[in-house]
Structure 1
Amino acid sequence: MKKNLLLIVPFVFLTAGVWFGYNYYFGGQDYYTRVGEPVEIKSGKFSNGEKYTEYDYTHTAFNKKGEKTVQKTFEIRDKPLRINAYLKLKVNPRKGVLSWEEVPETTVPKKAFAKLTK
């Protein structure tokens, strides 16, 4: 029994440490926003000579409780994001926006939707 505990206890602590570390660096809270016009549009060339266009956005976003945050995103794309589309942003307090995805209007929480449509 003691041998089993000597194996199980360190495994539990190691697993908890990995989970908390991952959540600290790569976890985040979901916020919802509505896409507006890009704040700035930049063009440039990669080191291999290929041209690109960068679209800079400033999003006012709300979580499911209706709490507000302002986030900036920089997207290198062929064309800008669809105006008035709803986005779900994963926001890490240390790194900012980690990822985003376009979501249908029906999946936006009620409190966030109410603040976005004002």
Structure 2
Amino acid sequence: MKKFIIGLVVLFVLVFGGLKIYEITNYGGTIYYTQIKNTGTKETRKDDSGADFTDYRYDQNAYDENGAVRKIEFYGNKSRPLKMRAYLKMTYNEKKGVTRWEAVNKSSVPKKALDKLNE
């Protein structure tokens, strides 16, 4: 019985550890901050079923917590432009680009990144 429980715990650790590694390598990444300063480029794209939908693409600079810049391209995933002057926190993955973003308050943006955004 003891071996069974140990085996179950090891299996549990391996499965969830593997899932966490998969998440980090495919969806994790470096955190960057940016501010929306234009309406983006309106594009008509197709979803998986082939239906058309409207989206907005943004190409702009984003900054990490140390103020290092990176040119980032991402989609708003909305049928309208993102709110002007909104601050965004983004996760950038080297393989997949921006994997997620969220609007944040100005007070949530690290000082070095905020200084670069306000230049």
TM-score (structure 2 length as normaliser):
0.77
RMSD of Structure 2 on Structure 1 (CA): 2.7
Say which SS state the counterpart of residue 82 (structure 1) adopts: coil
Structure 2, unpaired ranges of 5+: none
Q: Deviations over 1:21-66 (max 9, x none)?
A: 2211121222100112144223478755x7x432111121111122
Q: State how many pairs are aligned.
A: 116
Structure 1, unpaired ranges of 5+: none
Q: 1:70 to 1:45 in 2, by over 3 A?
A: closer
State the partner residue of 1:19: 20
Distance 1:39 1:66 in 2: 23
Q: 1:73 to 1:6 in 2, by over 3 A?
A: closer
Distance 1:59 1:99 in 2: 16
- The share of aligned pairs that are identical, in percent, is 33
- Tell me, yes or no, if structure 1 residue 110 matches structure 2 residue 103: no
Q: Deviations over 1:62-85 (max 9, x none)?
A: 111222211111234232111111
